[in-house]
Amino acid sequence: ARSFLPLLCLVSVACALPALGMQLRGEALDSDYLAHLMWARHARDAGITGVVSRTGVVEDPSIFYPNTVPKPLGLLFVLAVDSTSLPAAHAAAQLLILLLMILVSGTLVARQTSSPGPAIFACALLGLHPAVLVLSHSGSPVIMMLLFLLTGSLVRGRASMVFGALAALTRPEGLLYSTELCLRRRRALALTVLIPVSLAAWLGLNRLMAGDWLWSAREVRYVIEAMPYPRPSVLAYPAVVALRSLRVLGPVLLFALISSFRSYPWSWSSVANLLLLWVSLALGSLVLDRYVDLAMILAIPWAVASVFRLTTRLRRSLRAAVLGAAFLFPMLLWIPGIPAWDFEVELARRLDRLEMPPDGGLIAVNELLVPRIALANDITDPVGRFVALDRAVFERRDLGELGVSEVLVAVHPVYLPGLTRSFLEEQAGSIEPDTLLVWSGR
């Protein structure tokens, strides 16, 4: 694989060009990334204590934004990138992470197949994959965690443990994957350090930022109740996972992965991850497509290597057809993905131009939109500046008594739940909502 490294570097740069094109079309970092950026700036200026919540309470629509789990490495990462003060630093950082992930994936495939062809195939697939590009464009920590896990499986010795630890600090499920990495590398002793340190980082960050060791767990459950996101039922979850796996990998790569699942180095942690998502769904939590996508995208280098091995003895024309199907099926995700991506880009542009009320009045808005509005107006502490619209409606609070002067809505199921829509249509009173963006469904 080392002999192919210069070629793979060039290929990876070329395969990252679609992501660059998306960034040039418009920046659309998601609320999770922007919330961490807002918290990081506040922590830099005023200290980290009480950045999210000062009392550990979750039922106050005037101070808690947004509904995301504070992530230890995510907070440090956005703070480091922001400290450079370079133009488009955050977009450039996401491009670099994606480029490295593509390069590492290609190197893993080259190591398994001893051939540059399959490696180039994997790089091209990841560089054009709709789920991968949308996650990268939004600044999702999923891409960073995938980079750490893939690098951890590529390198040897203690370095692999370091990347496993970084994955465990990037997203909560990272601890599952890093545990399997330690066990497969026969470094069970490392778990005696990894597990307590990781748990302490997550719980300690909650205590510092929200005043409660378990604030994130309580917050997530409350938010899902107050802001009813579209989510699968517990009984439908297995079908949802199967369908999403088929969409992300396509039937050819999915079959290739299943056929070689015993040799897949992330087998049990991927299964455990999907099972824990099922349990969390039953306990009232949320399961989004990107939570399932993580396990599927991680498997792509091994699925690509497997499909090339399985098709070695096929006739050239038949092999080309199978490989073509393996590449094209995941691209079907672009059909529903482009309208959603266009919506987010346009919404971001309008939010960036939004100014706070000059009289000091409060804006009531879906809390996922608060970080971008706050950052556009140089606000790092949203307390007393916004009201979480959906929570206020759920708690039957009077918007006028809360001091709301403007209500902003984005007409989209995620940003305007049915209960909030009904409230605005029937009970808003003298407060006129401003439709920030109507999604045409293009």
Q: Output the pLDDT for position 441.
A: 39
66 burial type by CB count under 10 A (0-12 exposed, 13-18 middle, 19+ buried) = buried
Q: Output the pLDDT for position 66.
A: 66
pLDDT tens, position by position, 91-123 = 999 999 999 999 999 999 999 999 999 999 999
Mean pLDDT over 282-310 rounds to 94
pLDDT tens, position by position, 4-31 = 889 999 999 999 999 999 999 998 999 9
Q: Which DSSP state fits 330?
A: G
Instruction: Tell me the pTM.
Output: 0.95
Mean pLDDT over 150-158 rounds to 94
Q: Output the pLDDT for position 64.
A: 66
Return the CA Rg of the chain. Answer: 22
The per-residue DSSP string of 103-163 comes to HHHHHHHHHHHS-HHHHHHHHHHHHH-HHHHHHHHTT-HHHHHHHHHHHHHHS-THHHHHH
Under 8 Å CB-to-CB from 425, ≥6 apart: which residues? none
